[in-house]
């Protein structure tokens, strides 16, 4: 698929063939087993997955635990056209792309193209959001622009992490995971009613593992894991019409710094490329700027108050009030060598307060949501770029305030028993105010990071000042229209147009030596068209969800980093951000998700994503270079096949089922950046996972063994490419987890 038109034609043909060829005939008439109904709240009300005219993949908490799912990054293996990765040089920062739209760089001036929600609370920043899977009711992944139903507008899609509500009865559970690399996880959950209307509960979890590799310079574990997390909630139902929930959560990631695997020998003394991709010789902790008490740690937490009031049989009022913050101290070693060639201590501090009001309307023929949303957030980051062998340090500070308010609504009208029309819209106001400092020093580290002897050599000049303040406000109206046709209870056909919008901003890395940065970058928009068919076959034994989509992506915000030569000596001695609105693109593709209950004990799921994402315009110095650019983190093909079979097994008098679950996930070639770099880009690969799990029929005991990446595939998930910045040739890659085996035991009381 080389063009958008060819991709759309192919997708339409395949979708039509799949829908038309599957005749609604009983597949296994001798068997009464059918697929379970999947309930989602993608449209802010409970509906079955097959009813929703939206591309959404849902994972139940029980299924995730049974499959041994570690964190939300693993969801991308089974979701078409989705990339979820741990960001480069971090342990818990999320990089997310859906249908080609996302955000790689987590610095303060940028906002993600994919929205992440924790119990309906929008998380404004990606730091510390690689959530481990525990205490989960379900996770929903929505593809395409969101905004007429959700608190915050997101241009690429959304991920909803929904935790479990508390039981009316006293409950407790303990889960222990033990595995390779000395893995030891402990999850303890308990809840109890205090009165007939009030209950409390909470979970404490500890996730620990040695590194997949070793830092050969410091002798520390590398790619290790050390996380403590917890959640606490209180629920009050003073009457049948009122529900109040207060929830708080916290996590502390104390894992060691993560460095990339060098793909080139050292430039000054020829340090060889290491034999193990998880090993490093990084020595960032030895630089002068890290002696001010900086350590590698990420903490995050927040609290939310949710109130639901059923005013009458037709109207429900909902309020979601939330406050969150996170703090990250990170030590990034770009050169991954003991020498201080290109090192960066980094601080991220984020705070946010959000308030959302909703009025939900539901009658026999009309349902809808009307809402207002307000977000007040601050994102602060500061970092040094220490070029030790050149004796200079570039210091950057970005302090970005975001104030967003919006009103939105979406109404669905049942024209008759078969036709349904939905119309929605959202008005956004995005204001960003910034203070950005960029300064160059002689010495290893800046005064901000503890080197008081550093000497500033920044010379202010017109358009090249070390500090500036700026502000911009972007407004936009985004419509959504959807028409669906249900010829019977088993089939739902729909067509949807939706528009996405992401406000402009400022690149905090470009204030020095990049003219015109004060103007910032403009908003980006996407017009998305989708045709879909959701069907049940053979009396509910088989389901297919097929979607064909096309997106016109305008004014694309393209962040990047380049090395710069401040004194014209032929050596890059600083770097700068290069965020522009240089690009326009077209994205089209096909998504298929199928599930089958072949027999009462044997089931399977299949997903396929095909995408053709092409830049149609990319202007650099007046020249269109779109033919030389690719969509990053967007493989042309993603696919997954999962099969599950269960046998009745009685162990020491306890009846239960033994489930064997096998999964294979495929991703085609993938580029790390818009400009292909063969040295760091990832070829096509397949991951194979197998789990064997026994669960008692009363669900009190579960024990299993989980093998992940059984073929021990080496695959890159992120990279740095700075071959001319510093003296060592700094090109490195980060890798996904190797083969691991984990045994789990969970007991409920």
Burial of 479 (0-12, 13-18, 19+ CB in 10 A): middle
Q: How confident is the model at residue 22 (pLDDT cuts 50, 70, 90)?
A: very low
CATH architecture of 4-748: Beta Barrel (2.40)
Give the pLDDT of residue 16. Answer: 35
Q: Quick one: tokens of 55?
A: 């591309």
pLDDT tens-place string over residues 61-120: 999 999 999 999 999 999 999 999 999 999 999 999 999 999 877 778 788 899 999 999
pLDDT band at 564 (very low <50, low <70, confident <90, very high): low
Q: Which pLDDT tens digit goes with each residue over 479-511? A: 999 999 999 989 999 999 999 999 998 887 765
pLDDT of residue 736: 96
Average pLDDT estimate for 569-580: 68
Task: For residues 148 and 479, give the distance between their C-alpha atoms in angstroms, rounded to a whole number.
Answer: 8
d(CA 173, CA 190): 6
pLDDT for residue 31: 44
Question: Looking at residue 622, what is its pLDDT?
Answer: 83
Residue in 604, 582, 293, 595 with CA at minimum distance from that of residue 449: 293
pLDDT for position 337? 95
Q: Which residues contact 331 (CB under 8 A, 6 or more apart)?
A: 257, 284, 285, 290, 294, 295, 296, 343, 344, 345, 346
* 663 in Cβ contact with 77 (< 8 Å): yes
Q: List, in sequence order, the alpha helices (H) in 55-154.
A: 61-66
Return d(Cα 273, Cα 277) in angstroms, integer.
9
For residue 6, give the H/E element and its range: helix 4-21
User: pLDDT tens-digit profile of 626-641?
Assistant: 999 999 999 999 999 9
The DSSP string of 133-180 is: --SEEEEEEEES-B-SSSSS-BSSEEEEEEEPPPPSS-EEEEEEEEET
Which tokens in the block code for residue 185? 């996880």
Q: Tens of pLDDT along 24-51?
A: 333 333 345 777 777 666 555 666 777 7
Q: Which helix (H) or strand (E) holds 398?
A: strand 392-414
Taking the chain, what is the end-to-end CA distance rounded to the nearest angstrom? Answer: 54
Instruction: Give 467's pLDDT tier (boundaries 50, 70, 90).
Output: confident
Q: What percent of the chain is predicted at pLDDT more than 90?
A: 72
Per-residue confidence (pLDDT) for residue 437, from 0 to 100 = 87
Q: Are 632 and 104 in contact (CB under 8 A)?
A: yes
The pairing of beta strand 261-262 with beta strand 730-735:
antiparallel
For residue 438, list its beta bridge partners. Answer: 396
- C-alpha–C-alpha distance, residues 199 and 192, integer Å: 6
Calculate mean pLDDT across residues 297-322: 96
pLDDT value at position 285? 65
Q: Which helix (H) or strand (E) holds 437?
A: strand 419-442
pLDDT band for position 459 (cuts 50, 70, 90) = low
Q: Which residue has the tokens 């595995």?
A: 179
Going through 240-391 in order, the beta strands assigned E by DSSP cover 242-253, 261-262, 297-310, 315-333, 343-362, 366-387
In percent, the amount of the chain with pLDDT more than 70 equals: 89
pLDDT surpasses 80 at 571: no
In this prediction, residues 4-8 reach a mean pLDDT of: 38
**Cα 327 vs. chain centroid, distance in angstroms?**
18
Alpha-carbon distance values, 384 to 127, 294, 343 (Å): 19, 12, 8
Is the confidence at residue 515, as pLDDT, over 70? no
Handedness of CA 692, 694, 697, 699 (dihedral sign): negative
Q: Among 667, 694, 697, which Cα is nearest to 683's? A: 667
The pLDDT assigned to 509 comes to 75
Q: Which of 307-311, 405-409, 673-677 has the lowest mean pLDDT?
A: 673-677
Higher pLDDT, 468 or 39: 468
* Predicted pLDDT at 565: 66
Tell the burial category of 647 from Cβ atoms under 10 Å away from its Cβ (0-12, 13-18, 19+). exposed
pLDDT digits (tens, 9 = 90+) for 200-253: 999 999 999 999 999 999 999 999 999 999 999 999 999 999 999 999 999 999
Q: How many residues does the chain have?
A: 749
Q: Read off the pLDDT of residues 153-163 as tens digits, 9 standing for 90 and up.
A: 999 999 999 99
**HSE of 493 in the Cβ direction (CA atoms, 13 Å)?**
10
Contact (Cβ atoms closer than 8 angstroms) between residue 714 and residue 277: yes
Residues forming beta bridges with residue 528, ordered by sequence position = 498, 551
What digits encode the pLDDT tens for the residues 684-701? Answer: 999 999 999 999 999 999
The top-scoring range by mean pLDDT among 12-21, 285-294, 529-538 is 529-538
How far is the C-alpha of 298 from the C-alpha of 92, rounded, in Å? 8
pLDDT value of residue 365: 92
The pLDDT mean for the chain works out to 88
Residue 513 predicted with pLDDT over 70: no
Condensed to tens digits (0 to 9), the pLDDT of residues 262-273 reads 999 999 989 999
Helix H or strand E encompassing 10: helix 4-21
User: What is the rounded average pLDDT of the residues 559-570?
Assistant: 65
CB 727 within 8 A of CB 267: yes
Q: pTM, whole model, 2 decimals?
A: 0.91
In the numeric block, the tokens 């070829």 are attached to 683
Domain range annotation of the chain: 4-748
- Distance in angstroms (rounded) separating the CA atoms of residues 155 and 618: 20
């Amino acid at each position: 698929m080389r063009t958008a038109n060819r991709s759309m034609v192919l997708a339409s043909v395949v979708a039509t063939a799949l829908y038309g060829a599957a005749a609604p005939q009983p597949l296994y008439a001798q068997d009464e087993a059918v697929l379970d109904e999947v309930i989602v709240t993608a449209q802010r009300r409970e509906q079955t997955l097959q009813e929703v005219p939206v591309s959404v993949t849902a994972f139940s908490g029980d299924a995730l635990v049974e499959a041994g799912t570690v964190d939300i990054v693993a969801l991308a293996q089974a979701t078409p056209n989705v990339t979820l990765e741990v960001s480069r040089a971090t342990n818990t920062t999320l990089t997310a792309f859906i249908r080609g739209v996302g955000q790689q760089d987590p610095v303060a001036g940028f906002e993600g193209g994919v929205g992440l929600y924790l119990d309906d609370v929008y998380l404004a920043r990606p730091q510390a959001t690689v959530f481990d899977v525990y205490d989960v009711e379900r996770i929903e992944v929505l593809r395409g622009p969101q905004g007429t139903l959700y608190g915050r507008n997101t241009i690429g899609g959304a991920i909803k992490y929904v935790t479990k509500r508390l039981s009316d009865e006293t409950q407790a559970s303990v889960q222990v995971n033990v595995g390779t690399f000395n893995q030891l996880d402990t999850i303890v959950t308990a809840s109890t009613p205090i009165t007939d209307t009030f209950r409390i509960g909470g979970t404490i979890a500890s996730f620990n593992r040695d590194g997949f590799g070793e830092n050969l310079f410091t002798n520390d574990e590398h790619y290790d894991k050390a996380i403590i997390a917890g959640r606490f909630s209180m629920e009050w139902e003073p009457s049948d019409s009122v529900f109040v929930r207060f929830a708080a959560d916290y996590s502390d990631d104390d894992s060691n710094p993560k460095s990339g695997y060098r793909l080139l020998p050292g430039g000054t003394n020829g340090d060889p490329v290491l034999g193990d991709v998880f090993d490093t010789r990084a020595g960032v902790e030895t630089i002068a700027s890290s002696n001010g008490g900086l350590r590698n740690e990420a903490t995050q937490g927040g609290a939310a108050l949710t109130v639901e009031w059923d005013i009458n049989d037709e109207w429900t009022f909902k309020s979601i009030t939330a406050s969150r913050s996170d703090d990250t101290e990170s030590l990034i070693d770009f050169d991954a060598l003991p020498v201080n060639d290109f090192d960066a201590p980094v601080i991220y501090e984020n705070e946010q307060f959000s308030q959302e009001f909703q009025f939900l309307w539901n009658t026999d023929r009309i349902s809808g949501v009307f809402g207002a949303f307000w977000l007040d957030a601050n994102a602060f980051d500061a970092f040094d770029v220490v070029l030790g062998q050149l004796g200079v340090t570039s210091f950057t500070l970005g302090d970005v305030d975001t104030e967003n308010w919006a009103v939105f609504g979406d109404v669905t009208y049942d024209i008759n028993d078969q036709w349904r029309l939905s119309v929605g819209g959202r008005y956004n106001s995005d204001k960003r105010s910034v203070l950005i400092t960029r300064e160059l020093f002689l010495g290893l580290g800046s005064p901000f990071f503890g080197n008081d002897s550093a000497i500033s050599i920044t010379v202010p000049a017109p358009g090249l000042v070390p500090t500036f303040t700026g502000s911009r406000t972007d407004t936009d109206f985004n419509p959504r229209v959807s028409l669906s046709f249900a010829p019977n209870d088993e089939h739902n056909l729909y067509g949807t147009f939706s528009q996405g919008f992401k406000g402009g901003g400022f690149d905090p890395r470009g204030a020095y030596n990049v003219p015109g940065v004060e103007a910032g970058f403009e908003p980006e928009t996407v017009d998305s068209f989708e045709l879909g068919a959701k069907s049940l076959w053979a009396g509910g034994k088989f389901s297919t969800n097929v979607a064909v989509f096309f997106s016109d992506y305008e004014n694309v915000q393209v962040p990047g980093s380049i090395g710069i030569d401040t004194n014209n000596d032929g050596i890059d001695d600083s770097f700068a951000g290069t965020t522009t609105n240089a690009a326009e693109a077209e994205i089209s593709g096909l998504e298929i998700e199928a599930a089958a209950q072949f027999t009462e004990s044997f089931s399977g799921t299949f997903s396929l994503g095909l995408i053709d994402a092409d830049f149609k315009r990319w202007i650099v110095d007046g020249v269109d270079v779109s033919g030389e650019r690719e969509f990053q983190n967007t493989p042309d093909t993603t696919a997954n096949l999962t099969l599950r079979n269960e046998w009745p097994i009685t162990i020491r008098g306890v009846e239960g089922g033994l489930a064997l679950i096998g999964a294979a996930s495929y991703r085609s070639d993938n580029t790390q950046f818009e400009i292909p770099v063969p040295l760091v880009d990832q070829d096509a690969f397949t991951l194979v996972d197998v789990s064997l799990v026994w669960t008692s029929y009363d669900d009190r005991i579960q024990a299993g063994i989980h093998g992940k990446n059984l073929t021990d595939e080496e695959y890159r998930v992120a990279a740095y490419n700075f071959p001319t910045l510093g003296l060592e040739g700094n090109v490195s890659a980060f890798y996904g987890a190797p083969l691991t085996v984990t045994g789990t035991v969970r007991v409920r009381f």
